[in-house]
Amino acid sequence: MNERDEIPWAELRRLAREATSRSYAPYSHVRVGAAALSDAGAIVVGSNVENASYGLTLCAECSLVSDLIRHGGGRLVALSVVAGDGEPIAPCGRCRQVLFEHGGAALVIDQGDGEPLTLADLLPRAFGPDDLPTRSTP
Ligand code: THU
C-alpha cells in the first residue's frame, strides 16, 4: 500500500455494514461495525461486543485492532465505522486513542458524503507512543 493507491471506501463501508450483523449488543441494541485497510494491504474488521457490566463493552474499533494484530499487525491507513442503519459514525473518544496507537495522525476516517477526516482532525495534539521515554518492542 502506498499513498498513490486508491482507498477502497465502498468495500470498507460494505464490510463495516456486514460486521454490524455480527455485533453482540443485547443491552444498547446499537450494532456497530468497522472495517479498515492496513499498510500491508490487509482488510481487518470488528464489531462491538457488549457486556453485562456495561463499562466493559468493547467497541467495534477495539475488535478491529485485535483483528489487525491477529493478521500480523501493521499500520491502519483508512477506516470506516458504521452503525446498524449503515451510516458512518464517529469513533468514540476512547477508540480515537486506541486507533492512534495503530494508525497515527494520518489515519483517514470515512465521513460518508463528506470528505474523509484524519485522526489528527478527531484527536488533535494526541498523546502517543512517542511521548513515552522508552518503548519496548511490540
Ligand atoms: N460503540 C462502538 O462500537 N464504537 C464507537 O465508537 C461508539 C460506540 C458501541 C459501544 C456500545 O456497544 C454501543 O455502541 C452503544 O454505545
Residue 71 to residue 57: CA distance in whole angstroms: 23
pLDDT of residue 101: 98
Name the active-site residue from 61, 87, 101, 115. 61
Residue 34 to residue 47: CA distance in whole angstroms: 6
pLDDT of residue 56: 98
pLDDT of residue 16: 98
Region 96-120 average pLDDT: 97
Among the listed residues 13, 53, 52, the one whose alpha carbon sits nearest the alpha carbon of residue 33: 13
- SS3 category, 21: coil
| Mutation choice for ligand 1 from 21, 23, 27, 30, CB with most ligand atoms inside 8 A | 30
Nearest residue CA, atom 1 of ligand 1?
Answer: 59
Residue 26 to residue 112: CA distance in whole angstroms: 27
pTM over 0.85: yes
Range list of β-strands (E), the chain: 32-38, 43-47, 76-83, 108-111, 114-118
Region 114-124 average pLDDT: 97
- Tens digits of residue pLDDT in 25-84: 999 999 999 999 999 999 999 999 999 999 999 999 999 999 999 999 999 999 999 999
pLDDT of residue 5: 61
pLDDT of residue 138: 60
Nearest atom (ligand 1) to Cα of 83:
14
The cell for 115 is: 470528505
pLDDT of residue 2: 46
| Ligand 1 center–CA 32 separation, angstroms | 6
Nearest residue CA, atom 2 of ligand 1?
Answer: 59
- Tens digits of residue pLDDT in 4-14: 469 999 999 99
The torsion angles phi and psi of 119, rounded to 5 degrees, stand at: -65, -25
Active-site residue flag, 61: yes
| Ligand 1 center–CA 8 separation, angstroms | 24
